[in-house]
Amino acid sequence: MLRDYLKLHFIVLLWGFTAILGKLLTVPPVELVFWRTLLAATGLAALLGARGLPWRVSMGQAGRLLAVGALVAAHWITFFLAARLSSVSVCLAGLATLALWTSLLEPLLLWRRVRGYEVGLGLITMVGLYLVSQAELDQLLGLGVAVVSAGLSALFSVLNSKLIKTHPPLRLTFYEMAGACLSVVLFFPVYSRYFTQGRGLQLAWHGYDWLWLGLLAGVCTVYAFSTSVELMKRLSPFAVNLTVNLEPVYGIVLAVLVFGSKERMATGFYWGTLLIVISVLIHPLVARWAKDKEPVVVNLTP
């Protein structure tokens, strides 16, 4: 059990490292997502084949999975763009609003009632976000893009909560990575014409890009996901979700270690980030408490 928990924290550490890799890579965000999803889809296809798992689905199901993959691509593009427009720490502070977005989108998409404690935690998150924005006024654009990225992440996470009931996790992720890659390829003509300032696509790797991309696609995506799926068979969803919420904390600490003084922020940033992280960490605790307080309904009809 201890080994499983240590492995889970290592995976969350890897996910927190992705923003740093996005900052180290010279490939622009759109081309970066193309390479990440292409390499990840190839790795997942090899993993499905090695384990002898079925991968065929109906045309309708494939269409839905590929469409969710397009959302994944949009999330990753905005995520890496936010890391380029601001510091890694500010990017991760904006991404920590994922729980707030989820609390807003779940009632709309899954037709469940609004939970009072989620509204309260959402207000705490908003106060934290305000403190971060006031402390780092010169990085507001990156913070805003990171918040949008968190919203896209929440959207595909809510949609995935329905799809995972009918698709094995590895097959689901393979199709979503393929859909993400395909959507970026379809976006290339518009992107190269209107968003590259005449430079065209920049798909070439430079310097250590091959190493950073290998870590990003192979270690932070294929390995981390397949291992997390395996751990979910032995660890409770509560323990997994609580640990995953530490991703912004690990990421900010790693960013300070890697980039040094470039990642040191004003005091208000850390107070704001602390409020956001606290709201994220106590969410599963409050949710569990609220569930335990729900009255038990006994159905006496045959």
Question: pLDDT tens across 138-185, in order?
Answer: 788 999 999 999 889 888 888 877 787 788 888 888 998 999 999 999
Structural domain of 119: 2-289
Tell me how far apart the alpha carbons of residues 294 and 97 are, in angstroms, rounded to a whole number: 27
Residue 132 falls within a domain, yes or no?
yes
pLDDT of res. 211: 95
Residue 181 falls within a domain, yes or no?
yes
H or E segment to which residue 66 belongs: helix 59-85
Residue 201 φ/ψ, nearest 5 degrees = -70, 140
Residue 298 falls within a domain, yes or no?
no
Residue with more model confidence, 250 or 300: 250
Residue 297 falls within a domain, yes or no?
no
Residue 302 falls within a domain, yes or no?
no
Residue 61 falls within a domain, yes or no?
yes
pLDDT of res. 302: 39
pLDDT of res. 34: 96
Tell me how far apart the alpha carbons of residues 262 and 256 are, in angstroms, rounded to a whole number: 8
Residue 295 falls within a domain, yes or no?
no
Q: Which two tokens stand for residue 2?
A: 């201890």
Q: Is the pLDDT of residue 300 over 70?
A: no
Q: Is the pLDDT of residue 199 over 60?
A: yes
Tell me how far apart the alpha carbons of residues 66 and 43 are, in angstroms, rounded to a whole number: 17
Q: What is the mean pLDDT of the chain?
A: 83
pLDDT of res. 241: 63
The count of structural domains within the chain is 1
Highest mean pLDDT among 51-55, 187-191, 226-230: 187-191
Instruction: Determine contact, residues 125/279, Cβ cutoff 8 Å.
Output: yes
Residue 206 falls within a domain, yes or no?
yes
Tell me what the mean pLDDT of segment 209-228 comes to: 88
